[in-house]
Amino acid sequence: MAASRHLARKLPSIISRHQRLISPEIETLDTLEDSTSPASIPLDPTLPLLPLAVSHLSPPSPLPALPSAHASSPASLLRLLHRARHHPRLAALDLHLLLAAASASSAFRPDHRLTSLLAARLAASRRLPSLQRLLQLVLSRPCPCADDSIFACPELLPTFRKAILAFATSGDIPLASDALASLRRAADSPLPAEFYNILLQALARLHRHDDAIRFYGEMTNTHRVAPDAYTFNILINTSCRVEGVDAAMRWFEEMRRRSCAPNGVSFNTLMRGFFREVRYREGIKVAHEMLQLGVGLSVASMEILIGGLCRGGEALKAAEVFAEFLVDVVVPEGFDCLGLVESLCHVGRVDKAGEVVELVLERNMAYCLSVPAGVTVLDCLLKAGKLDEVCRLMDRMVGQGIVPDTISCNCIFEALCEDGRLRMLAKEKGFQADSVTYSMLVQGLGRQGRMNEGKAVLDEMLDLGFIPNIMSYNRLLDRVHTRRSLR
């Protein structure tokens, strides 16, 4: 009862506090501006109140006071921000604390450690207007480490890169362009291509193909920036999707003309474009060119090549290409031929699927054959009634450590029992038999009249706990005797 009275007294304050948390908009900007405390931090009206991604609270009212000790140097302010990064009231005020310190003294100049930390936090929480204001402060008050040198701060480029990447990722191309132009004026040397690639990738992602081409011309002709492989990969990809693979090939030739070596992404994009336009011969030619130039085939390359042919109804051609690459030992480790096997079985070429599995096992490349791929071939052969091939192929698979699952093995054992043949497969290779497996073995042994072996299997079942009681044991034993008498 005392606890209930205590809760009744505290309930109004709890409700009020909860209402402020879920409805921060009741504390309007007017309340913040009406604060006349001289110790409070002045809030810049040009900065919107953007909360952190982890918080839905507006800045508290009134703003907490900033002690003069923390505004004396960038190092002391940096220590404060490090301590307040998880504070519920101060975490969202990181930029305001910096602006307050800068407005308190015209001699205050934030160093690159402080601005880099704030740039990372603002970029991670997508506070783009605040991030833009931070860049203005960085340019107006350079880092103190630039005083002793004729060059700009070495951390200027990483700080701006975080901001440009945040602007471009959010789709704000004008802000990203302005930040890039400001950095270009402040930097000591021409910017590397990676800064321009950020905007180029953003334009391609926003399906602004013409603007991406125009920006590339401005990058190379106006600013004299040498493009790299990533630049051309972006142009090849966007041209392939918008204009077609022929337009992408022109960029590929431009890439070679500028002595920029293509990489696997360049070839994979072209290969995917050829398969999208049902030009399989050119797509296969791209794969051969990758091998000739020493780029090599990756798992993604093989998936594009084999998957593109299979989806286009060229499963037999895909099997030929896979066999050729398998003989040449250029198939990368990690590629699974499951898709190829399924396509061959789907078109009724189970024999060809079996040949592919046989070739993989013959070449000792079991990493290309997963358990689902092997089980798919065994299941198709089983449905076709080719039990001899099933047994032979399963023996070879188990010999290389590809052990089918229990359900698949049970289906094979059942088919062998019904056919009058029985073989214990994969037990020594790690196959985990269950009660269904042993029951089918007992039926098969009874059908063949091998009572002693059937009794031995029953005893093994009893030792392993698969037989719950003596009644089940007697029922299975009677089944062995019944099968023998029927013979």
Q: Delimit the domains of the chain by residue range.
A: 108-144+152-189, 193-296, 315-432, 433-487
Answer CATH for 193-296 from 3.40.50.300, 3.10.129.10, 1.25.40.10, 2.60.40.1120:
1.25.40.10
Ordered DSSP codes for 378-433: HHHHHHTT-HHHHHHHHHHHHHTT-PPPHHHHHHHHHHHHHTT-----SGGGT---
pLDDT exceeds 80 at position 346: yes
Higher pLDDT, 156 or 36: 156
pLDDT of residue 100: 77
Spatial distance between the Cα atoms of 270 and 233, rounded to a whole number of angstroms: 10
Mapping DSSP to helix (H, G, I), strand (E, B) and coil, where does residue 65 land?
strand
CA distance 426 to 449: 24
**Would you say residue 418 has pLDDT above 80?**
no
Q: What does the pLDDT read at residue 228? A: 94
Phi and psi angles of residue 40, each rounded to the nearest 5 degrees, phi first? -75, 155
Q: Which amino acid is at 29?
A: L
Report which of 451, 455, 456, 387 is spatially closest to residue 425, judged by C-alpha positions: 387
Q: Cα–Cα distance between 282 and 271 in angstroms, integer?
A: 8
**Do residues 287 and 266 touch, judged by C-beta distance below 8 A?**
no
Strands (E) across 110-175 are located at: none
CA distance 366 to 337: 10
Distance, in Å, from the CA atom of 41 to the CA atom of 269, rounded to the nearest integer, reads: 54
Instruction: For residue 24, say if its preceding peptide bond is cis, omega within 30 degrees of 0.
Output: no
Comparing 11-20, 28-37, 192-201, 476-485, which segment has the lowest mean pLDDT?
28-37
Count of Cβ atoms closer than 10 Å to residue 123 Cβ: 22
d(CA 283, CA 277): 10
Helices and strands (DSSP H and E) totals, the chain: 24, 0
pLDDT at 144 (0 to 100): 79
What's the pLDDT at 275?
95
Q: How far is CA 286 from CA 88, 256, 270, 306, in A?
A: 56, 15, 8, 13
How buried is 416 (Cβ within 10 angstroms: 0-12 exposed, 13-18 middle, 19+ buried)?
A: buried
Pick the more confident residue, 292 or 436: 292
Q: Give the pLDDT confidence score for residue 300 in this predicted structure.
A: 94
Q: Which amino acid is at 103?
A: S
460 CA to centre of own chain: 47
Phi then psi for 241, rounded to 5 degrees? -80, -30
Residue 391, pLDDT score:
78
Classify residue 404 as left (phi > 0), alpha (psi -120 to 50) or beta. Answer: beta
Residues 121 and 91: beta-carbon distance below 8 Å = no
> Which tokens go with 36?
């006349």
| Position 315 pLDDT exceeds 50 | yes
- What digits encode the pLDDT tens for the residues 168-180? 999 999 999 999 9
Q: Residue 475's pLDDT band (boundaries 50, 70, 90)?
A: low
Residue range 469-477: mean pLDDT, rounded: 58
Q: Which residues pair with 65 in a beta bridge?
A: 40
Q: Decide: 260 and 229 in contact? Cβ < 8 Å.
A: yes
Gap between the Cα atoms of 293 and 285, Å rounded? 12
pLDDT value at position 224?
92
- In this structure, the number of other CB atoms found within 10 A of the CB of residue 318 comes to 26
The count of C-alpha atoms lying within 13 angstroms of the C-alpha of 252, restricted to the half-sphere facing its C-beta, is 22
Per-residue pLDDT averaged across 363-376, rounded?
A: 88
Give me the residue label for tokens 């402060």. Answer: 137
pLDDT range class, residue 466, cuts 50, 70, 90: low
